[in-house]
Amino acid sequence: MPDQGQIATKRKFKLVGTRPVRPDGVDKVTGRARFGADMTAPGMLHALILRSPHAHARIKSIDTSRAERLPGVKAVVTRDDFALPERRDLVDICYNVMAREKALYDGHAVAAVAAVSKPVAREALRRIKVVYEILPHVTDVDEAMKPNAPILHKDMRTKGIDPKPSKASNVARQWEFGHGDVDRGFTEADIVVERTFKTAATHQGYIEPHACLASVGSDGQGDLWCCTQGHYMVRNACAGLLGMKVSQLRVTASEIGGGFGGKTTVFIEPVALALSRKAGRPVKLVMSRNEVFRATGPTASSSTDVKIGVKKNGQITAAKAVLRYQGGAFAGSPVQFGAMTAFACYDLKNVQTIGYDVVTNRPKQAAYRAPGAPLAAFAIESVIDELATKIRMDPLEFRLLNAAREGTKSSYGPTFGPIGLEATLEESKGHPHHLAPLGPNQGRGVACGFWFNFGGNTCVSLNIGEDGTVCLSVGNPDIGGSRASMCLMAAEELGVPYERVRTIIADTAALGYNEVTDGSRVTFAVGMATIKAAQAAKVKLCERAAKIWDISPEAVVWEDGHARPAGANAGTFKPMSLADIAAVAGSTGGPIAGHSEANADGAGVSFATHMVDVEVDPETGRVTVLRYTVFQDAGKAIHPSYVEGQFQGGAAQGVGWALNEEYIYGEDGRLQNAGFLDYRIPVASDLPFIDTVILEIPNPGHPYGVRGVGETSIVPPLAAIANAVSAAAGVRHTQLPMSPPRILKSIMEKRDGV
């Protein structure tokens, strides 16, 4: 592979790295932008879903006859309308979209109706009679692993252990990573710290609930408009679940009011399509906030044991973690990513992580920014902090001493190339934040975090307009500023002003398959495709100029947005701008476009260090976040304002996760706080200005050096805040959220000497 990182460091950009106005700004502040629930169609029906009120129950019968007889009801669907799909990866999704033999969690869909109005649909739901046999339930990860726990799936045998167990359990899979000999490493340690940590399940908290409009004609052709992070994924999943060919279904992504990983799967879309197919009319389905909490995908909750040994000089000799994540009612918690990332920030000779993927009677988890990593980092970085205190070493120096660097064998295996952890630590050491004094009841915490990032299948099309403007069609919903970044990269490559490029999100019929907007992949992978498409267009532009000048295409170069003769021997011709060539395109061979289709690999890993100051009120246990600084490697920041926004957003969501957010279940297994009044995400007044420092250690795998930035920023905050709160309160906190009652209890126990 060419060393593009070196190219990137040497390249002088004209537009990349500037901060132009975002192209979607006017639409969003004027209300012109169309989100999922804004879609309408003539003759449209309204759909609602009936959901299980039980955490675990056998569905003995469903009688929809009274609902079907209600005037205005046009279609009712249940499990009988969804055949199990051939694709194995869709089977659990099928079970999750509509319950079959059992309802597996409070909120599990049981039936759905489409009617001429919402009130009629609501009345129809009341007329559906479901007979349940209530079964014992379990919602806690540690309880679910006990031998006498209620079993969710009678055929679940733990994978990853040999011999294969003969008895069913709630442990879907065991994972193991590491190298060296941890037992020997611990014997070499002077100090060993061993602790157990717990985190609550949290929701991504996107402001826009899931919404879609489905329309299936009598010819079997379907259209779907929805808010999603990946409309190609939606197309393929829905086609698989409904027995359609992918080309029969065209999916258009709406603007999206947040996703953060939670919109990387389907929930209501197949239901709306099934209703539309049955009713023969368009069907709109919009989730309520209550449904979003109960029936979409929050993240996992976890229980983790950590043991780290260190010499008095600060050298870590061994590190081990056992991670237990519950991911709801189906296999697939992100525990393997927790186990892989847990110790990725450190250069370790002896390291071992074991992960258990556990099922419980909760909604099937969905991805949430760097899935699995923040939970692990909370546990590991808390012990790192405690060890630094025990050996009387500055926590940043302790981390620097043991930091992963280029050439380090990572805790999950591969050897790191050029990486930026050390740079983020060095930058944080000299930052004014680190040197600022603290007052009474205040504490400072730091923590590091890691995420892989990846690329994936990507297809873009760049079309040159007759007036010299450029339209770029991409297939990834813009969840974090990708349209601005793509405009910048296309404009940079073509040498035209940013304002002359417009990027649109094309529907699934317009482009080849594009993977979901996830894995911090878009600026990297779609950016690379955009650059390649622009380069392909430049070749054609040069060919047209060569034709006009009647010289060889090899004698033409593209510089500063113009085709120019390559040298004196090529002749003396007046350079032609992109607009000049576009204006005569129709007479010189037809429209000019550039395309790129590739499976992008070479995404660079990313590291961050976070620093936070908090004050703990010893009378109430309330935490105030006073100051917060994010130091993160972006490879190359294409649009620095958006990069800063990603850093700030990760930190803000981390503040909520650390201090307040949690799924609270009652004894009956029902979710107690399915709304933003009782599930408290941070609001502006809860947060200080979040300062950011962008480090740029170019990724050799990208032409401009880009690394993904969207996920790493949520990995360190839980631990950084826990370390700050523990310092301020004078007691180590090992359970999230660190809500006021929990903190107050710990302070009182300390006072009372408990």
User: Does 702 engage in binding with another protein (CB under 8 A)?
Assistant: no
CB closer to another protein out of 177 and 647: 177
Residue from 105, 197, 260, 346 binding another protein (CB under 8 A): 260
CB closer to another protein out of 606 and 739: 606
Applying CB under 8 A, what is the total number of residues that bind another protein? Answer: 51
Residue from 24, 140, 174, 469 binding another protein (CB under 8 A): 174
User: Does 370 engage in binding with another protein (CB under 8 A)?
Assistant: yes
User: Does 194 engage in binding with another protein (CB under 8 A)?
Assistant: no
Nearest to residue 424, comparing CAs of 402, 398, 400, 451? Answer: 400
Tokens of 452: 């892989």
- Across 361-371, b (16+ Cβ under 10 Å) vs e yields bbbbbbbbbbb
* 304 neighbors 320 (Cβ within 8 angstroms): no
Distances (CA, A) of 634 to 377, 451, 479, 599, 607: 20, 12, 17, 22, 9
User: Does 648 engage in binding with another protein (CB under 8 A)?
Assistant: no
Q: Interacting stretch for another protein, rule CB under 8 A, among 73-81, 219-227, 516-524, 725-733? A: 516-524
User: Does 596 engage in binding with another protein (CB under 8 A)?
Assistant: no
Distances (CA, A) of 205 to 481, 493, 682: 19, 37, 10
Beta strands 442-451 and 456-464, pairing class = unpaired
Tokens of 545: 């100029």
Residue from 96, 252, 361, 457 binding another protein (CB under 8 A): 457
User: Does 518 engage in binding with another protein (CB under 8 A)?
Assistant: yes
* 468 neighbors 579 (Cβ within 8 angstroms): yes
The helix/strand/coil state of 621 is coil
The helix/strand/coil state of 475 is coil
User: Does 333 engage in binding with another protein (CB under 8 A)?
Assistant: no
CB closer to another protein out of 133 and 601: 601
- Tokens 């780290």 belong to 308
User: Does 456 engage in binding with another protein (CB under 8 A)?
Assistant: yes
Residue from 150, 495, 553, 602 binding another protein (CB under 8 A): 602
Q: Interacting stretch for another protein, rule CB under 8 A, among 461-469, 540-548, 573-581, 597-605? A: 597-605
Say how many Å lie between the first and final Cα of the chain, rounded.
60
**DSSP per-residue codes, 587-604:** HHTS-EEEEEEEEE--PP
CB closer to another protein out of 5 and 282: 5
User: Does 476 engage in binding with another protein (CB under 8 A)?
Assistant: no
Tokens of 164: 């294969």
User: Does 367 engage in binding with another protein (CB under 8 A)?
Assistant: yes
Contacts of 281 (CB under 8 A, 6+ apart): 43, 44, 45, 74, 114, 215
Q: For residues 723 and 552, what is the distance between their CA atoms, to the nearest angstrom?
A: 66
User: Does 177 engage in binding with another protein (CB under 8 A)?
Assistant: yes
Residue from 411, 482, 520, 660 binding another protein (CB under 8 A): 520
Distances (CA, A) of 154 to 60, 169, 401, 408, 733: 17, 8, 49, 43, 37
User: Does 336 engage in binding with another protein (CB under 8 A)?
Assistant: yes
- How many CB atoms neighbour CB 7 within 10 A? 15
Q: Interacting stretch for another protein, rule CB under 8 A, among 250-258, 329-337, 629-637, 716-724? A: 329-337
User: Does 415 engage in binding with another protein (CB under 8 A)?
Assistant: yes
User: Does 416 engage in binding with another protein (CB under 8 A)?
Assistant: yes
Contacts with another protein, 60-89, as mask; x by CB under 8 A: ----------------------------x-
Residue from 327, 445, 701, 716 binding another protein (CB under 8 A): 701
Contacts with another protein, 546-565, as mask; x by CB under 8 A: --------------------
What is the amino acid identity at position 634?
A
Compute CA 641 distance to the chain's CA centroid, rounded to the nearest angstrom. 19
Q: For residues 514 and 508, what is the distance between their CA atoms, to the nearest angstrom?
A: 9
Q: Taking the complex as a whole, how short is the minimal distance between the CB of residue 371 and another protein, in angstroms? A: 5
CB closer to another protein out of 157 and 680: 157
Q: Taking the complex as a whole, how short is the minimal distance between the CB of residue 262 and another protein, in angstroms? A: 8
Q: Taking the complex as a whole, how short is the minimal distance between the CB of residue 620 and another protein, in angstroms? A: 34
User: Does 8 engage in binding with another protein (CB under 8 A)?
Assistant: no
Residue from 398, 454, 524, 647 binding another protein (CB under 8 A): 454
User: Does 258 engage in binding with another protein (CB under 8 A)?
Assistant: no
User: Does 160 engage in binding with another protein (CB under 8 A)?
Assistant: yes
- Across 56-95, b (16+ Cβ under 10 Å) vs e yields bbebeebebeebeebebbbbbbbbebbeebeeeebeebbb
User: Does 451 engage in binding with another protein (CB under 8 A)?
Assistant: yes
What is the amino acid identity at position 283?
V
CB closer to another protein out of 17 and 456: 456
User: Does 663 engage in binding with another protein (CB under 8 A)?
Assistant: no
Tokens of 693: 């420092």
- How many CB atoms neighbour CB 298 within 10 A? 28
Residue from 171, 242, 340, 425 binding another protein (CB under 8 A): 340
CB closer to another protein out of 202 and 215: 202
Nearest to residue 337, comparing CAs of 735, 712, 729? Answer: 712
Q: For residues 738 and 732, what is the distance between their CA atoms, to the nearest angstrom?
A: 11
Q: For residues 185 and 189, what is the distance between their CA atoms, to the nearest angstrom?
A: 7
User: Does 325 engage in binding with another protein (CB under 8 A)?
Assistant: no
What is the amino acid identity at position 235?
R
User: Does 180 engage in binding with another protein (CB under 8 A)?
Assistant: no
CB closer to another protein out of 443 and 656: 656
- How many CB atoms neighbour CB 268 within 10 A? 25
For 518-650, strand residue ranges (E) read: 556-559, 562-565, 576-577, 592-600, 606-616, 623-633
CB closer to another protein out of 325 and 451: 451
CB closer to another protein out of 336 and 485: 336
CB closer to another protein out of 282 and 456: 456
Cis omega (within 30 of 0) on the bond before 163?
yes
Window 99-128: residues binding another protein (CB under 8 A): none
The helix/strand/coil state of 735 is strand
Q: Taking the complex as a whole, how short is the minimal distance between the CB of residue 182 and another protein, in angstroms? A: 12
The helix/strand/coil state of 250 is strand
Q: Interacting stretch for another protein, rule CB under 8 A, among 12-20, 147-155, 189-197, 330-338? A: 330-338
* 356 neighbors 332 (Cβ within 8 angstroms): no
Contacts of 79 (CB under 8 A, 6+ apart): 59, 62, 98, 99, 100
Q: Interacting stretch for another protein, rule CB under 8 A, among 281-289, 451-459, 503-511, 613-621? A: 451-459
CB closer to another protein out of 105 and 412: 412
Q: Taking the complex as a whole, how short is the minimal distance between the CB of residue 89 and another protein, in angstroms? A: 8
CB closer to another protein out of 372 and 468: 372
Q: Interacting stretch for another protein, rule CB under 8 A, among 57-65, 258-266, 285-293, 386-394? A: 258-266
Angle between helices 717-729 and 740-751 in degrees, nearest 10: 40
User: Does 653 engage in binding with another protein (CB under 8 A)?
Assistant: no
Residue ranges in contact with another protein by CB under 8 A: 1, 88, 159-162, 174-178, 204, 260-262, 264, 334, 336-337, 340, 352, 354, 367-371, 412-417, 451-457, 518-521, 599, 601-603, 701, 710-711
